[in-house]
Amino acid sequence: MPNTLRIALYGSGRMGKAIETIAEERGHTIGLKVDSRNAGTAPLGCDVAIEFSRPEHAMDNMRICLANRVPVVVGTTGWYDKLNDVKAMVSQYQGALLWASNFSIGVNLFFRVNRKLAGLMDKQRDYRVRIDETHHIHKLDAPSGTAITLARDIDLKTGRYAGYALEEHGQLQGQEQVQGPVVIRSERTGEVTGTHTVTWTGPNDRIVMTHEAFDRGGFALGAVVAAEWIKGRSGLFTMDDVLDEV
């Protein structure tokens, strides 16, 4: 078991509560909890921060953690268009920040399989790809950060796909192409924790990969493991860096 950490937790939603439970089970202490009532509170006296708030608050929370020399693990999505700004902040403060669209160990292994398959499928020009993702009705962003990561990795590993296109109300149904943007279909229903499916369809067969989360425990555990890993480091990291060592 790693050394005990004093953790600053930014975000009091369902993921925040799950992270608190897992952290305490692993012997850590929640030294600070920040939500809308005490927004802007610095993580003084804490060893590491975990940020799972809302997209509109994420940048400010990252900045205050880095400015106070507290390493921060960021699970909030919806801010990735500002990634270059985050890189600049990490450099400015010579701090440490680890971000991921999904902290589940299983999902991050799923990412690796997705990249491998995309590379293999690039030359199979008769196959077209699409991504389907389903989450609970409380999730604010669509498509999910996980779906965007899957699409980005397909983009990086192929020469015929670039970016993604969100299917809304079925207007792209059946229109996914052998090149162009990766079509993503997002659904928000009930209390579904999270399901992501990558489908490659050819003229004679179909390859389907699915990751289904049963609960939030896997996400929370991954975030706490990342917090344990990042203490004492400096730089900008992702869960790939954690998986390479843990």
Q: Which among 17, 33, 82, 139 is annotated as catalytic? A: 139
Task: Check: CB of residue 66 under 8 Å from CB of residue 91.
Answer: no
Pairing mode, if any, of strands 180-188 and 161-167?
Answer: parallel
Whether 139 sits among the annotated catalytic residues: the reply is yes
Query: In the chain, which residue ranges form alpha helices assigned H by DSSP?
Result: 14-25, 55-67, 83-93, 105-121, 145-157, 217-230, 239-243
- Locate tokens 């004093």: which residue? 6
Closest Cα to residue 122, out of 160, 175, 177, 176? 160
Based on the number of CB atoms within 10 Å of its own CB, is 195 exposed (0-12), middle (13-18) or buried (19 or more)? middle
169 is catalytic: no
The active-site residue, picked from 135, 157, 211, 231, is 135
Residue 229 DSSP symbol: H
Instruction: List the catalytic residues.
Output: 135, 139
